[in-house]
Structure 1
Amino acid sequence: MIEPLLNCKDAELTHNTQKATPVVLSTRLRLARNLLGTPFPERASLAQRSDILSKCSDHLSGLGKMKKGSFFEISELSDLEKQVLVERHLISRELCESQQGSGVYINKAQTCSVMINEEDHLRIQFLKTGFHLKNVWKQIDRFDTELEEHLDIAYDSEFGYLTACPTNLGTGLRASVMMHLPGLVLSDQMERVIRAVNQLGITVRGLFGEGSDATGHVFQISNQQTLGEQEGDIIDRLGNVLKTVIDHEVNARFKCLEDSRSKVLDQIGRAYGVLRNAHVVNSAEAMNMLSLLRLAVDFEMLPESNRAEIDRFFIECQPGHIQHATKSEIEPDERDVCRAKKLREELGSLPALDFDKLADLT
């Protein structure tokens, strides 16, 4: 059912060839919106939820951004299909567990997905590879404006946009950036950075959001406050914090090279060898070793042209994607064998690591 989506060669997070920054993997902005005079999804009856789903999906289909997009009712997707969409960051784990009358509309390039009847009637999110907070904000703001021309959205002059959870009141905006931070992790500075940004109203989560692990040294960093602050101010404040985190990450990488050069190079070399030769690799191992290969690209030990391929594996080596590729739900041990085979085949053409390049960087 989701095969056309997965086979799309224009997908932003899996087939984007634009140059990403060394530290930032992707940018994601999400808006929470609700229809005026209609109960929030958890309080709505099945008939009301179905009516909301039909009404919202009809309006979304008429928007230019959704041309040639795909609509899925969650109740009609298998557990495996839902898992794949979560791994692509196109739906939330909460939507997977929702009642009947929920769905998602995803545009062809997978840069925009709109969840219907998750916690709120509409959860609109825009994605883009790299560090593009202001650019993505302009896109989602235009989309939101166009959507409000067709739907009556619940808004209060004092509290702003009304949402099911009070933490989303006001702008309803959650801006986040996926960051690759091996330097801070390897130098044992990550906990200190997390504490510092938390004091600034910024939260740090793992790869798949709240409650998930930061495998592959990948973290989601986002704003917490949505009330009492304009959208532009939220974007600017988060952007300034993230630029500081990027500076600390770059400094930490060079500090690691100064203090533990042989250890860092050994870790990169071992990851390179294992990914190209191993016959059993679990998802956590794959993520952590792919992180080291991405670091090798940052250190110019591998060509920049390999970055997009490595970033794609961060998603395609997840359990759901491995199972979907085999057309069956397989046990973890068999998944680990299939994952290793995929990595051997697709990374077999990588050039040799150029350790001499580090002499120019340090």
Structure 2
Amino acid sequence: MTKWIDGEGPQKDIIISSRIRVARNLEEFPFPIALTDEKSKEIIKKVSDSIIEGNTILKNDFNLIGIDEISDNDKQVLIEKHLISPNLIERPKKSAVMINKDESVSIMINEEDHIRIQCLFPGFQLEEAWDLANKIDDIIEEDLKYAFDEDIGYLTSCPTNVGTGIRASVMIHLPALTITGYMNRIIQAVNQIGFTVRGIYGEGSESEGNMFQISNQVTLGRTEKEIIKTLIEVTKQITNKERDARATLIANNRVKLEDKICRSYGVLTNGRIMSSKEALKLISNVRLGIDMGIIKNIDVKAIDTLMVDIQAGILQKIYGKNLSANERDIKRANLIRDRLKGE
């Protein structure tokens, strides 16, 4: 099972995961958009060799996957598990990914940049994720020379990543702030200090299931540690506000909140057709109920796993065949009923 979904982590009742992504490019090659197939393959070999062939403790932990060697559904599964970005599959003959055994690390090759190192941990573990990403970055840099400017920092395809090349983010579950109508204020406040709030799949995606990604927008003029420290402080403040909002809901509208949560549980355990959007909304309510002690005898890990497994690609992987949209809605409802009643 993917570590960030199934693993334990601090404050996982609200903070689902912590992610560090580091963008790097090799000095002697054009940026990926201008690469030939031949040069792309050369970069893939250089990067994979620096990990797999190197004398490091990591060399037996990674598998190299050529994007053109896997099915369209397997590509979608990797996206849904947040192991690769949608951009990586746009040029499948030129791109690859290296993933470790517990799927806490993925190294995307020839995405927007030559190298995107991603470390994804359960709960609130930004500093731990950074420590691992930094070590992997150092291992690669021992063999390969990065595109770097003494004044600017690391050079990247997109100017918004120039400098440190780091994107730090947390995926956070904020149902009470959404219910009480404070989420828009949070988004505005976060945007004013150089951070951004996005949906469950990052830039351009919508928030579903009251899940939000909070990440830095600025990579230039701040050190990696400064970026991470600020995100930690911002996340703590938002987490405290979510806890306060939950306490307010219980104090002022307990019966109404319990009704909302129990109705959601009832639909999930009895529904016969379920879209992913509806399922995520209901699962979010049930997760809130578990965290607040309203729903008992259901492990929150089972809910977190379900939140991922109901996505279209993973659902088809579970059932071992391609499904139409209507078939997916039926199978999704079946899966949810089986998992929840099995608890």
TM-score (norm 2): 0.95
Task: Identify which of 216, 225, 247 aligns with 1:223.
Answer: 216
CA change 1:68–1:137 in 2 (3 A) is: closer
Which amino acid is 2:40 matched to? R
What per-residue deviation string (whole Å, max 9, x for no partner) do you get for residues 193-250 of structure 1? 1000000101000000111111110000000100010111001111111111111111
Q: Which runs of 5+ in 1 are unaligned?
A: 1-8, 351-362
Q: Structure 2: how far apart are the matches of 1:101 and 1:60?
A: 19
1:35 and 2:17 aligned: no
Q: Which moved more, 1:294-303 or 1:241-250?
A: 294-303
Q: 1:343 to 1:198 in 2, by over 3 A?
A: same
Q: Does 1:191 align with 2:170?
A: no
Of 235, 246, 265, which aligns to 1:253? Answer: 246
SS in structure 2 at match of 1:269: helix
Q: How does 1:342-361 map to 2 (within 5 A)?
A: 342-350=335-343
Give the superposition deviation at 1:302.
Answer: 3.6
2:325 is matched with 332
Q: Does structure 1 retain, via aligned residues, the 8 Å contact 2:47–2:140?
A: no
Change (3 A) 1:160 1:259: same
Percent identical: 41
CA displacement at 1:269 relative to structure 2: 0.2
The corresponding residue for 1:147 is: 140
Q: How does 1:97-246 map to 2 (within 5 A)?
A: 97-246=90-239
**Residue identity matched to 1:26:** S
Q: Which residue of 1 aligns with 2:73?
A: 80
SS for the counterpart of 2:209 is helix
TM superposition shift of 1:165: 0.6
Residue pair 1:115, 1:124 contacting (<8 A) in 2 also:
yes
> Which aligned segments of 4 or more residues in structure 1 are displaced greater than 3 angstroms?
17-20, 302-305
**Are the counterparts in 1 of residues 12 and 122 from structure 2 also a CA contact under 8 Å?**
no
Q: Residue type matched to 1:187 in 2? A: T
Matched, 1:22 2:17: no
Cα distance between partner residues in 1 of 2:92 and 2:138:
28
In 1, are the aligned partners of 2:8 and 2:123 still within 8 Å (CA)? Answer: no
Count of residue correspondences: 341
The Cα RMSD (Å) is 1.5
Show CA shifts across 1:47-91 (max 9, x none).
111111121122222343352422111112221111100000000
1:45 alignment counterpart: 36
- Which runs of no fewer than 5 residues in structure 2 stay unpaired? none
Secondary structure of 1:65 counterpart: coil
Cα separation, partners in 2 of 1:320 and 1:197, compared to 1, 3 Å: same
Q: Give secondary structure in 1 for the equivalent of 2:219.
A: coil
Instruction: Describe the SS at the equivalent of 1:149.
Output: helix
- Per-residue deviation at 1:96? 1.4
When residues 245 and 20 of structure 1 are mapped into structure 2, their CA distance, relative to the original with a 3 A threshold, is closer
1:20 offset after TM fit, Å?
4.7
Of 305, 314, 317, which aligns to 2:310? 317
Cα gap change, 1:178/1:324 in structure 2, threshold over 3 Å: closer, same or farther? Answer: same
TM-score (norm 1): 0.91
Counterpart in 2 of 1:3? none
2:326 & 2:103 partners in 1: Cα distance?
Answer: 31
Look up the match of 1:57.
48
